[in-house]
Structure 1
Amino acid sequence: MEKYAVPVPSSKNSKNPNPITRWKRIVSELNGRISSKCRHEDSQLLLDSYAQVRTFQHHYKTGSDNCPTYIARITNVANHDSPDYFVREGITGIEFDSKGIYLASVTKSGCLTVHDFETLYCSTYGPSSSSLEDETNYLLHISTSHTLDAVRWNPENQDEVACSSRQNNKVLLYDIGYMSSEPVEVLERGRSKFSQLNDKICNGLSDIAFTSADKSRLLASGLDGAIYIWDRRSSNFPCVELNTISQSQLNSIQVDTENRVVFGASKQGIIYAWDLRGGRTSLAFQSLNEVHHPPLISLKVSSVLEKITSLKAQSNIISKEIHSVNIDPSCSYQLAFHLDDGWSGILNTNSLNVTHVHCPPPAWLDGMEIPRLSSSLRRPAWLLSCSIYAVGSTCGKGIHLLDFFPDRSSACHVDFMFQKHYRGQVRIQQRQHGRVILEPNQTDSWNWRVSKQQSLKYTLILSS
C-alpha cells in the first residue's frame, strides 16, 4: 500500500497552515445556562416590552346593592370640586398567591376581593371594563365595616388570606375555600407592653408578613412603632413584641429569605432590623411571657445618602418618610426602599451602604402640577428576576422600571461605570430605565404586585 501513498510537502516555512476556527457561540448555548450578567444585558428588551393592556374598575354588587367601594368612587367624583370633601375610595393593597393564579385586593372602603387572574386577564378581550360587575369575574367579595390597608397570602396555606387596617388593632384571616363573609380567625394586638403612646390614637396595623418556615407564625407592624408576632397555635394575642426606641409608626415590614431578620420602615425615615432569633433558640417565641426585643440595627436613610459625595453635591438631602421596603428576590442582600418624595434606592444589608439611587426630577422642573397630598402609601414591587424595581411616578402618569442590578453596570449604581472595556476596546454603556405610560385618569398612589406564571412570563399589576 505504500506505493500508493502521496508524499506530503514539508511545512517548515509555513506558520499554522490550518488554524483552528474560533468558537463564536455564546456560553449559554454551550452549557444551557444564562448567566445573571447576560440577563442584565438583555433586560433592556424586557423593559421596552411593557405596555398598559387594560384597566379593571372595582364595580361589584353586595346582594342587590353596589359595593361600598364603587359607591365611594361615584360619590367622590360627584364632589370632586369641593375642597373640604373627602371620602374613602381606591384600592390600597394587592397580592398574588405563590403560583400567580389568584389575586387578592383590598380597598379603603373595606372590600376584600379575590380574582382568578387568568379569568380577569382573558376578560381583556371581552366586554368593556364598565361592565365587569358579573359575579363570574371573582371568587370572593366581602365588604367589611372598616378600611383595609394590607393583604397577604399565607405562603404555607394558599387558601388563607390575611388583612389588616390602620384604623384598628386586628388581623382578619379568611379562608377562600369556605366562601364565607366572616373571618375564620381574628388576631388581636391587645394592649402594648412597652409603648407609651395612646392606644386610641396609634391603634392600627399598617402591614403584614408571614414567615415561610411556619404557617402559624404571623407578623404585623403597628402605628405605635412596634412589630407584633403571633403564634396562632397558642393564642390570638401576640407572643412577642419588637419595639423601637423612638416609637415612630412603621409603614412597612419585610422578612428576609432565611426568616432570620425582619426589616421595618418608619415614618421618620429610619430602617430598623430585628434578629428574630433574639440571641436564643426559637423557643423564645413560644412563650407568652413579656419579652423585650430592641432592634439589632437602626439606620437613618438620609444619613446614609449623605455619604454619597456626588449626590450630596447636587441635592439637599433631608429626612423623608419611608413608604415601603422590599427584598430583591434575585439578590437577597439588596433591600429596596421608597421614600415619600419619590426617591428609591438599595441598601446593601451586608455593608449597610446605599449602592443604588433613583431620584426623579420634581414636578415643577417639567412644568407639571405639583401632585396633591395623598394619605395612601406607594408600595413598589420587584420583578422576579433581573433586579428590576417597578415604581409608580409621583407626578407623571406612568411607571418607572428601575435597573437595580447588583453591579456597577447598573444605571442607578452610585459608581456607575460609563465605560466598559471589551477585548481591548472601550465601549460607552447606554443603560436606560423602562417607562410605561398609563391612562390619564390614574391617581398618584400606587401599589404593585408581580405574577410569575411561566419561567419568562411576568405580569405587572397596579392598583390605585
Structure 2
Amino acid sequence: MDNYLVTSKPSSENPKFKPRPRPWRRSNLELNGKFDPKYRHSISDLLMHSYSEIGAFSHFYHIDGKPCQTHINNAVNSDRQLQFRMQGISAIDLDNKGIYIVSVTKSGCLTIHDFETLYCQSTGSLPRLLEDESKHLMHLNLQRQLDDVRWNHANQDEAGLPPLISFKLASKLAKIGSLKAQSDIVPKEIHSIDLDPSCPYQLAFHLDDGWSGVLDIYNLRVTHVHCPPPAWLNGASISTDLLYLRKPSWLPTSSIYAVGSSYDCGIHILDFYPDTSSPSHVDYREDVESLSKMNHQRKKNIFVPLSEGVTTCASHPLNGTIIAGTKHSSLLVVSQPRWAF
C-alpha cells in the first residue's frame, strides 16, 4: 500500500482555522425537552415565510332556506349601493383548544365553524365543493350590527376593576427619537390591543393609520413599532377602506403578530420578539444584526398577499393557522401549503 501513497508538499502558509458551525443546537430540544427562546427566534423566519392562503370561504349562507342578511348585503354591494359600515367580518375568535371558530359580521350574522372541517376542505383533504352549510354548528342573524365576539375562556363570573393608570400612547411614541424625526406624532385611534401569549408583559396595539407596535407594560415603554408606507406613497387612493376597524392577532409562539393591511389585499406578519434582534425593535440596528452570531440570517417582517382585503385575524392556539376575515365577509385560511413539507 505504501507504493500508492503520495506525500503532500509542506505548505508555506499557515493553515487558516475554520470555525465549526454551531453543532448540536437542535439536540438541545431532546436534552431539555423544550426550545431555547433565542433558538426559536433564530428559526422563526422559516415559519413567517411559510404562510400563504390555502382556502377562501365566501359568506353566501342561508337561514331557513333564505339568504341571510350578510348574503343579501354582499349581493347588494356588488353594485356599490351599500355603505361600507355594513360590510365585512368585524371579529373572529377561536376557543382554547382550537376546535371552534366564531365570527360575526357587520350585518349581524354570528357563525360558528368547526376548524378541522374548514381546514381539511382548504388543504384538499375533502372534495373541493361548495361549503356544506349543514356543517355549521351555529348561524344566527341578530338583526343588529356586531363589532366584536369573544369566547369565555375562563367560564366563570366576570369581575370589574377600576383602571390603575392611564396615559396617552402618542406621548410614549414621541419618546422614540428616530420615529419622531421622521414623522409627526399625533394622537390616533386605537383599533386593537392584545397581550402576547408567549410573553405576558408585551401588549400589542394597532392604530387607525396602519401602525402597529408593542408596549412593555412593566415599564410603560414602547419597544416595537411597525410603520407601513402610507397609501399615497404606493400610488393607492385613500378611500373608505382605511376606515375599516382592523383587529390583528398574536400567533401562539415566537411573539409573531399578524395584522391585515390597511389598503392592500394581504396581511403583515411581524416579528415582535422581545429583544433588540427583532427588526421592529426601536433599538434594532442592521449593522449590529449582520454581525450577530446568534442570528446569521437578517430578520425582516413578511407581507403575505391574499385574495381579499383583511379586517380581522385569529390564530389557532396549537398549530398557528391564521383565520382571516375580509371586507367582503369571507373567511380565508392562511397556513403552510401541503407542498411546503
Alignment TM-score, normalising by the size of structure 1: 0.61
SS of the residue corresponding to residue 111 of structure 2 reads strand
Q: How far apart in 2 are the matches of 1:22 and 1:408?
A: 23
Q: Following the alignment from structure 2 to structure 1, what is the Cα–Cα distance between the partners of residues 315 and 114?
A: 15
**TM-fit CA distance, 1:58:** 1.2
Helix, strand or coil at the partner of 2:229: coil
1:111 paired residue among 86, 99, 109: 109
Q: Partner of 2:24 in structure 1? A: 25
Distance 1:422 1:44, change over 3 A: same
Change (3 A) 1:85 1:315: closer
* Structure 1 unpaired stretches of 5+: 1-20, 158-214, 219-228, 230-275, 277-292
Q: Distance in 2 between matches of 1:50 and 1:402?
A: 12
Query: Letter of the aligned partner of 2:255 in structure 1?
Result: S
Matched with 2:324 is 462
Q: How many pairs align?
A: 302
Does the Cα contact within 8 Å between 1:101 and 1:117 map onto a contact in 2? yes
Secondary structure of the residue aligned to 1:150 is coil
Contact 2:108 2:143 in 1 (8 A): yes
Letter in 2 for 1:31: N
Counterpart for residue 234 of structure 2: 366
Q: Offset of 1:99 from its aligned partner?
A: 0.3
Alignment partners' CA distance in 2, 1:108 and 1:421: 46
User: Which residue does 1:10 correspond to in 2?
Assistant: none
Matched ranges for 1:151-300 at <5 A:
151-157=149-155, 215-217=156-158, 229=160, 276=161, 293=162, 295-300=163-168
Counterparts in 2 of 1:421 and 1:371: CA distance versus 1, 3 Å: closer
CA offset digits 1:185-227 (Å, max 9, x no partner): xxxxxxxxxxxxxxxxxxxxxxxxxxxxxx1216xxxxxxxxx
The 1:374–1:22 alpha-carbon spacing in structure 2 relative to 1, beyond 3 Å, is: closer
Using the alignment, how far apart are the partners of 2:151 and 2:274 within structure 1? Answer: 29
**SS class of match (2:263):** coil
Gaps of 5+ in 2: 1-19, 327-341
**Aligned-partner Cα distance in 1 for 2:295–2:111:** 51
C-alpha spacing 1:421/1:430, structure 2 compared with 1 (3 Å): closer
1:356 aligns with 2:224: yes
Deviations along 1:99-138, whole A, 9 cap, x unmatched? 0001111111111111111112222235657x32x33230
CA contact (8 A) 2:208 2:243 kept: no
> What is residue 447 of structure 1 aligned with on the other side?
312
**1:140 correspondence with 2:141:** no
Larger radius of gyration: 1
Distance in 1 (alpha carbons) for counterparts of 2:138 and 2:321: 22
Candidates 264, 268, 273, aligned match of 1:405: 273
Aligned to 2:46: 45
Structure-2 separation of matches of 1:217 and 1:409: 39
Question: What's the RMSD between the two structures over aligned residues?
Answer: 2.5
Letter in 2 for 1:296: L
Task: Measure how far apart 1:417 and its partner are.
Answer: 3.7
TM-superposed deviation, 1:414: 0.5
Bigger share in helix: 2
Distance 1:71 1:30, change over 3 A: same
Contact 1:76 1:87 in 2 (8 A): no
1:329 corresponds in structure 2 to: 197
Shift of 1:331: 0.6
- Quickly say closer, same or farther: Cα 1:429–1:107, change in 2 above 3 A: same
Tell me the CA shift for residue 44 of structure 1. 0.2
Once the two structures are TM-superposed, the CA of residue 393 in structure 1 deviates from its matched residue by 0.8
Question: What one-letter code is carried by the residue in structure 2 that aligns with 1:216?
Answer: D
Amino acid corresponding to residue 433 of structure 1 in structure 2: N
In structure 1, the residue matched to 2:332 is none
Taking a change above 3 Å as real, the CA distance of residues 417 and 29 of structure 1, as seen in their structure-2 partners, is farther
Deviation at 1:39, TM superposition (A): 0.4
